[in-house]
Copies of this chain bind each other. A is one copy, B any other.
Amino acid sequence: MSNSEKSYKKLLQFQHTTSVLNSCASVLGWDRETYLPKSGISHRAEQLALLFGMSHERSTNQEIEEWLSDCETSDLFNDPHSESATNIREWRKEYDKSVKIPRNLVEEITHTISMGHKSWVEARKKSDYSIFLPWLTKIITLKRHYAELLVTDNKSIYDALLDDYEPGESAENISQVFSQLRDELLPIIDNIVNSPHQPNLGIIHKNYSTKKQREFGELAAKTIGFDFDAGRLDTVVHPFCSKLGPNDVRITTRWDTNNLVSAFFGIMHETGHAIYDQNLPLRQWGTPAGSSISLGIHESQSRLWENIIARNKPFWTYFYPKLQGIFSENLSNTSLESFLHAINLVKRSLVRVEADEITYTLHIILRFEIEQSLIVGDLDPKDLPEVWNKRFKELFNLDVPDDANGCLQDVHWSHGSFGYFPTYALGNLYSAQFYDYLKRQSPDIENEYTKGNFLPLLNWLRKNIHSKGMCYTAPELIKDVTGESLNHNYLIQSFKNKFYPLYSI
């Protein structure tokens, strides 16, 4: 075995152990959101701060530098899309970032976020921004400090944060895409909401037993490919998907007895994330070659299953009769067409997680603008509610009645996640472009959905996206798969193709 091969092997072992340690923290994080008793929160903060601190200490181990140097000059680094080169490249990136961040900052951020999250929960419940303000201020100060340590010459400090979620992207590029998107979306939204042909929402808001909702949701998740032997579904206030280890990917939802579909589409969304995680190459678990590319690509998977598959006719041709069977008293007199129209309501509304797939992007644009101002210091956190409400009025022509439905609605900033929001919109863009390409290659694939067969789609995603781990960056992957760089026209066109007929436009 050559010297570089030996070093690579040592890296594999060392990083595997770090990944196992990180996966322990994932278990504690999942439990914090699902089952942790109220009074246990401050000890959980201490536990997570310790684990992240230990992990950070490992990730700054100087031997990594030596092992990487050996590998970077070897054949292992030749083919940029190979497993070894991918690992070496990403480990280098991670190492260079880690050594810039002192352990006490990692622990302070972890601890502050745990406690800040608690204050946000209370603030949101009482719709009282003043409760969250001191913590938000502290979180922003810490994250700015973190970003300043990482920032490189030609980037903004916001870009340094964005890099944790969407490596290789820049605020400048996203701003351009979002600007175009906004300009094209606003007239589409106007056309739809002004159409006289509006859906009848009556059937959505009847009484639906959550037990039966769960049965149907689990059936659909299983049918499209979620492996319940390697995952589970739990109930939370703020739904998410979490990978706790190989063969352990957990999704969550929240139930509403007066809504037929809100929990269901939540499940479809999280199942999309989970299917990606469950189909990453198992043998490479814990290495970049076995990891997901970026949040944007992750979101492309959840959006694809939620919006492109589960909000369209072929899917419901198969599932609607089953849903009618489960809730026959409510649904027997409603046609598939009326149901499809009802689950595709487009309406300007206050809350991001309840938004339809078109106006959703406007919610993201708002947050993207505001979080940049917060991080670079143009916006004082104390002025956040005022600025939020003013900008919301401009984009949505709606008045925000209270902060719970305004700037306190989302969990992200309380978790210190600045730079996370734009990845949601990128996910929409990626999903539309992937799917447009796939449909051109396999024009008949949607016939399979009508028979409950989602395997051709799943296999295409496995082959073209899941199995590749991080061997391609997001921009490389979209180009490699579809032959073209990210192009917002696919999303715009997909909206027109779907919504204009539904609304007789």
Stretch in contact with the other chain, from A34-42, A309-317, A426-434, A488-496: A34-42
- The answer on a CB contact under 8 Å between B40 and A247 is yes
Within residues 295 to 324 of chain A, which ones have a CB less than 8 A from any CB in chain B?
A: none
Known: A27-B31, A31-B27, A35-B232. A20 touches B46 (CB 8 A): yes
Known: A24-B24, A27-B28, A232-B35. A248 touches B50 (CB 8 A): no
Q: Tell me if A500 counts as interface (CB < 8 A to partner B).
A: no
Q: How far is the CA of A37 from the CA of B435 in the complex (A)?
A: 31
Partner of A245, one of B38, B40, B54, B231: B40
Q: Tell me if A244 counts as interface (CB < 8 A to partner B).
A: yes
Q: Tell me if A382 counts as interface (CB < 8 A to partner B).
A: no
Q: How far is the CA of A38 from the CA of B248 in the complex (A)?
A: 9
Q: Tell me if A51 counts as interface (CB < 8 A to partner B).
A: yes
Partner of A39, one of B23, B43, B247: B247
Partner of A229, one of B20, B39, B245: B39
Q: Tell me if A460 counts as interface (CB < 8 A to partner B).
A: no
Per-position 1/0 for A46-85, Cβ under 8 A of B: 1100110010000000000000000000000000000000
Q: How far is the CA of A248 from the CA of B36 in the complex (A)?
A: 8
- The answer on a CB contact under 8 Å between A245 and B27 is no
Q: Tell me if A151 counts as interface (CB < 8 A to partner B).
A: no
Q: Tell me if A89 counts as interface (CB < 8 A to partner B).
A: no
- The answer on a CB contact under 8 Å between B51 and A24 is yes
Within residues 226 to 254 of chain A, which ones have a CB less than 8 A from any CB in chain B?
A: 227-232, 234, 244-248, 250
Smallest Cβ-Cβ distance to A32: which chain B residue: B27
- The answer on a CB contact under 8 Å between B231 and A37 is yes
Interface-centre pick from A36, A51, A230 (highest chain B CB count, 10 A)? A36
Please name all residues of chain B whose beta carbon is closer than 8 Å to the beta carbon of A250 when the two chains form the complex: 37
Please name all residues of chain B whose beta carbon is closer than 8 Å to the beta carbon of A13 when the two chains form the complex: none
Number of copies: 2
Q: Tell me if A21 counts as interface (CB < 8 A to partner B).
A: yes
Q: How far is the CA of A24 from the CA of B26 in the complex (A)?
A: 11
Q: Taking A24-B28, A35-B35 as given, write out 11 further A-B residue pairs in contact, using a Cβ cutoff of 8 Å, ordered by the A residue number.
A: A20-B47, A27-B47, A37-B230, A37-B232, A37-B247, A38-B229, A40-B230, A40-B246, A40-B247, A43-B248, A47-B245
- The answer on a CB contact under 8 Å between A35 and B234 is yes
> What's the nearest-Cβ distance from chain B to residue A64, in Å?
18
Q: Tell me if A44 counts as interface (CB < 8 A to partner B).
A: yes
Per-position 1/0 for A203-237, Cβ under 8 A of B: 00000000000000000000000011111101000
Please name all residues of chain B whose beta carbon is closer than 8 Å to the beta carbon of A50 when the two chains form the complex: 17, 20-21, 24
> What's the nearest-Cβ distance from chain B to residue A239, in Å?
17
Please name all residues of chain B whose beta carbon is closer than 8 Å to the beta carbon of A24 when the two chains form the complex: 24, 28, 47, 50-51
Please name all residues of chain B whose beta carbon is closer than 8 Å to the beta carbon of A244 when the two chains form the complex: 40
Which 9 residue pairs spanning A and B have beta carbons closest together?
A40-B248, A39-B247, A43-B245, A39-B230, A38-B229, A39-B229, A40-B247, A20-B50, A24-B47
Q: How far is the CA of A40 from the CA of B229 in the complex (A)?
A: 8
Interface-centre pick from A37, A44, A234, A247 (highest chain B CB count, 10 A)? A37
Smallest Cβ-Cβ distance to A234: which chain B residue: B35
> What's the nearest-Cβ distance from chain B to residue A252, in Å?
12
Please name all residues of chain B whose beta carbon is closer than 8 Å to the beta carbon of A51 when the two chains form the complex: 24
> What's the nearest-Cβ distance from chain B to residue A222, in Å?
13
Per-position 1/0 for A104-145, Cβ under 8 A of B: 000000000000000000000000000000000000000000
Please name all residues of chain B whose beta carbon is closer than 8 Å to the beta carbon of A42 when the two chains form the complex: 247
